[in-house]
Amino acid sequence: MKSLDIVFPKNNEEFFIKTAKALGIKELIFVYAEKDYEEWKREEKEITIKTAVCVSPKDARDAKKKYPLVLVRS
How much of the chain exceeds pLDDT 90, in percent? Answer: 78
Task: Report how far Cα 17 is from the mean position of its chain's Cα atoms.
Answer: 11
Q: Name the pLDDT band for 2 (thresholds 50, 70, 90).
A: confident
Q: Is the pLDDT of residue 15 over 80?
A: yes
pTM: 0.88
For residues 8-14, give the mean pLDDT. 94
Burial 15-29 (b: 16+ CB within 10 A, else e): ebbeebeeeebeebb
1 vs 38, residue with greater confidence = 38
- Residue 1's pLDDT band (cuts 50, 70, 90): low
